[in-house]
Amino acid sequence: MIRVAAVGDIHFGQDSAGTLRPHLEDIAEQADVYLLAGDLTRLGDPEEAAVLARELRDLPVPIVAVLGNHDYHSDQEKAVTDVLEGIGVQVLEGTSTVVDVDGTPVGIAGVKGFGSGFAGACGSDFGEPMMKAYVRHTQEAADRLREALDDLARAGVERRVALMHYSPSEGTLRGERLEIYPFLGSYLLGEAVDRAGADLAIHGHAHGGTEKGFTPGGIQVRNVAQPVITRAYNVYCLDCEKESGG
């Protein structure tokens, strides 16, 4: 049994100290790895990241993260990453890592992702340079995610999780206004997951969305934005149907 705890959009600020750690004290009894799906800070300030790092320090399970749009706001995403990596968090961006769970390797491929929308209502790589750049940015992120998942498969890692901030599925956006779907995710991310293959895709960003959905190819997608799951993490089991929260 492989248990994946995940949350996104915790939006830590300098006044957030003590709000997360009390809910993580028994995480080793509940999960084998803790995934953070972006928007870890409010404004992308390294000092905000330092508050979060103190909450996560010496956690008894591996922590893997991607950044979100908030973490880029102050143009200090490298410094935010350095703070988190300084206490052992693995921050992914078009890269992957492998966690050992009782002798079973579990691969996690991560990317922030970006928007563009979903089939029938999406942007295209056509027209003005700004529009082409917008869609190409998402395509490049999707390509990096697919390549990271492919690298895991080539390495013989059979259990794989795709971690991102933006959504790969419109199903987990239900509850959000249709007008903002293009800013919440992209079908290109879902295509990348389907082409490479994964057991589970996890994202955040859609505060008003729905927890459960699927890629077009039928891979389970979970929206773990904290306003959606309303707790410090939900646990998803790669080998069983039971899911829980913490």
- Banded pLDDT at 121 (limits 50, 70, 90): confident
Check: CB of residue 224 under 8 Å from CB of residue 203.
Answer: yes
- 241: pLDDT strictly greater than 60: no
- Banded pLDDT at 244 (limits 50, 70, 90): low
Q: What is the mean pLDDT of the chain?
A: 96
Cβ neighbours of residue 127 closer than 8 Å, sequence gap 6 or more = none
Tell me: domain 3-245, CATH 3.30.70.660, correct? no
List C-alpha distances in Å: 143 to 44, 115, 139, 187, 196: 25, 14, 6, 12, 10
- 242: pLDDT strictly greater than 60: no
pLDDT tens, position by position, 147-190: 999 999 999 999 999 999 999 999 999 999 999 999 999 999 99
Check: CB of residue 41 under 8 Å from CB of residue 12.
Answer: yes
CA 207 to chain centroid, in Å, comes to 13
Parse the chain into domains and list their residue ranges.
Answer: 3-245
Residue among 192, 206, 202 nearest 236 (CA): 202
- Banded pLDDT at 243 (limits 50, 70, 90): low
> Counting Cβ atoms within 10 Å, is residue 43 exposed (0-12), middle (13-18) or buried (19+)?
middle
| DSSP conformational letter for 108 | E
Whole-number pLDDT of residue 70: 98
pLDDT tens, position by position, 190-223: 999 999 999 999 999 999 999 999 999 999 999 9
CA angle 213, 219, 221 (to 5 degrees): 35
Check: CB of residue 246 under 8 Å from CB of residue 210.
Answer: no
pLDDT tens, position by position, 42-94: 999 999 999 999 999 999 999 999 999 999 999 999 999 999 999 999 999 99
CA angle 150, 92, 30 (to 5 degrees): 95
Across 230-244, average pLDDT: 83
Report d(CA 204, CA 165) in Å as an integer.
5
- Banded pLDDT at 239 (limits 50, 70, 90): confident
Check: CB of residue 138 under 8 Å from CB of residue 131.
Answer: no
Report d(CA 202, CA 134) in Å as an integer.
23
Task: Retrieve residue 48's tokens.
Answer: 């905000």
The structure's pTM equals 0.96
- Banded pLDDT at 245 (limits 50, 70, 90): low
Report d(CA 97, CA 116) in Å as an integer.
27
Residue among 147, 202, 139 nearest 169 (CA): 202
Whole-number pLDDT of residue 101: 96
